[in-house]
Structure 1
Amino acid sequence: MRFIRGNPVLEVLLGATCGGVLVLLVSWLQGARMPLEGPTYSRRTKDTLIPTLEEFTWQAQFPLPLDRESTQVFPFLLNHPNKCKVFGGAPFLLMLVMTQPQDQVLRDAIRHTWGNETIVPAVIIRRLFLIGLSSDFSYHHLLEEDEKHGDLLQVGFLDTYHNQTLKTLMGLEWVAQFCPMTYYVLKVNGNVFLNPRFLVQVILKPEQQRRPDFITGCIYRNRIPIRRQSHPQYMPLNMFSHARYPPYCCSPGYVLSGPLALKVLSIARRVPAVHLEDVFVGLCLHQLRVEPTPSPPNTFLMFGRLYNRCDFRGFALVHPFKHQELLLVWPDFQKANTPCPLE
């Protein structure tokens, strides 16, 4: 794998005890690369023995010396390597949507709303749902879902909150292997309202010259690490000792250029890993000396907003947003020809 081959690979302590604090432990392994045509669930039949969780969950062993040779990798258990091979050129936007295995109802809502690949005319968009493993979910259901939609990308480690850094990096690894020519990559959580037309036409601007070091979203600057152990965003001093984080784009949704996605993947092996995924990407940007690009004010909303069609036309993303509400308001949001006040 590109961010594994010849380099250390992220090591994550999987799972957590109830009420405990899980600390992401990271190390990198060398000498491994995923085959381009490895086995995929989508090629299996329902009667074929489904691999168990234990067969594909990479077990954390620590400490590991950084120069250790290993061929262990995180396999893509469900994969669509030809997803970006489309007639008419490279995708303009690749959506990597973060969900969990059991979130089929959420994924269906996204497929019928903002995740529709044809929603922006004359622009090639591709969508993949990135998922990990769950110890209490039937993989027959995932097989059936993927056979129907062909858009699940499953990686062989536990899908937990503290593995989000690893999950995002594996999404970028997929980009490096199978979609390196995409213009932009959108990393987005499933619990959002996304306005693809605004994102593409106002922020990314297909007619504009490509920007190799572009990343934007809701930008946090001068954020102070939370040292309270009971907080979900707790940051131990031994993991990050500085008084403030470098600038970063908030985790629910940000978009970066394809070339920058590959740079982040490349530099990640030299950046001390943290379990807060958006902070980790910010640390990678800091090492690359890349500053996030501000979007128009109040276009990436991180603290929710009551739906109003006229207001939402000017947003790129609203978080959080329940999928039940998304299905209810989407038909109204599609009334593009309905005038709004002051228009």
Structure 2
Amino acid sequence: MNLLESTAPVATRTGLTHPVGILGTGLHVPRTVVTNEDLTRTLDTSDEWITSRTGIRERRFLEEGRVTSDMAVEAGRQALARAGVEASELDAIVVATFTPDQPLPSTAMIIGEALGARRAMPLDLTQSACSGGIYALLTAAHLLQNTNHRYVLVIGADAGSRGTDPQERTTRVFLGDAAGAALLGRTPAGFGLLGWDTDGELSYEVEITAGGSRLPTSPETVEARSQYLKMNGKAVWNMATEKLPESIRRTARHAGVELDEVQHILLHQANLNIINEAAKALGVSADRVPTTVQRFGNTAAASVFTVLHETIENRARHGDLLIMSAIGAGFLWGSACFRHFDPFGEA
């Protein structure tokens, strides 16, 4: 089935002329499993402390010698294979990460080169942090309003083990490493992206202070360990438990659907307690809010893709409604509602 031929321009409540949806997903996690017990050998913490406050039991750490783009390439290949699309057909690659391979050159460009996506425009979203996956999906959907574009590969990838201080227990126990991908392309009318919501509030409660023009890297910043992520957990809790439910409700309204109609609510996997609190605020049952945080930890920009991939692979049916929602440093947050299009599951 040729989606481009089957999809005529339509006026939608989103303002998008061409319906755009997720045609395939991919997920890559490193082989190295790091349990809570493993962390207690180097940090002043305990399995009980970590589990009760985060719900995390283990996470994956990237092996020495491998980098963020290595994970992203694997996830991207999976998404392309599941959609039956060649890398050479890609028009753009949008990569969300706060742990790029290096400040320059572009990590998206490195990924495109490895995939063989020679003509794909590389775009890097490096400061959206954990909300990067949502912003990358919305960027891709708008790129696909150009009729010369057919496919955009979106990747959320982070090596949180490289961005957190190995000596600091507050952030170290949360972050894990992973990459998730989604291939976006045209769908028939009524499917794909139905509505979204984005917002933000400037805050320095989650930040990396060194390495920019304000505080360039120096021996002093290294000694102060200012290159690592700093996070105020209480501030994150307050913002996430308030803003995620609000954003999801607004997104459902923008999509023209009732929250009760949404089969799958896919939240940023920051912390199991935050996920449970958000679900309670929304009045939705746990079976509609899948989780991966117990196994993978908070994988930042990859986080929402971990539950997206597992939902698409194992739970979602043709026509199901999904709302994805995430919040990250900034604070930036956003949500997106999709009606799942499965070309093999059409009635």
Normalization by structure 2: what TM-score? 0.31
Decide which structure has greater strand share: 2
Q: Which has the higher contact order (CA 8 A, sep 6+)?
A: 2
Normalization by structure 1: what TM-score? 0.31
Decide which structure has greater helix share: 2
